[in-house]
Amino acid sequence: MQTQNLPPDQTTATAPGTPPDSTKQICADAPEPVPGSSLAPEPDVDPELLGLADDVAAKIREYQAQALGCQIMAAAFLRDSRDLLSPSDWKQILRSRRLGAPRTVQRLVRVAGQKAFRDSNRLVQLPDSLSALSELAGLPVHALEQALNDGTIGPTTTLKQVKQFVQEHSRHARAKATSSTNP
30-61 pLDDT, tens per residue?
444 444 455 666 778 788 888 899 899 889 88
Burial level of 76, CB count in 10 A (0-12/13-18/19+)?
A: middle
Average pLDDT over residues 5-10: 40
Closest CA to 108 of 68, 58, 156: 68
Question: In angstroms, rounded to a whole number, what is the distance separating the alpha carbons of residues 52 and 8?
Answer: 17
Q: At 97, is the pLDDT very low, low, confident or very high (cuts 50, 70, 90)?
A: very high
84 touches 109 (CB < 8 A): no
* Mean pLDDT confidence for 15-41: 45
Q: Which of 8-17, 82-91, 106-115 has the lowest mean pLDDT?
A: 8-17
Stated pTM of the model:
0.64
Ranges assigned E (strand) in 26-93: none
Three-state secondary structure along 94-130?
Answer: HHHCCCCCHHHHHHHHHHHCCHHHHCHHHHHHCCCCH
How far is residue 47's CA from residue 77's CA, in Å, rounded to a whole number? Answer: 45
Percent above pLDDT 90 for the chain? 45
Cα 42 to chain centroid, rounded: 31
Residue-level pLDDT at 121: 84
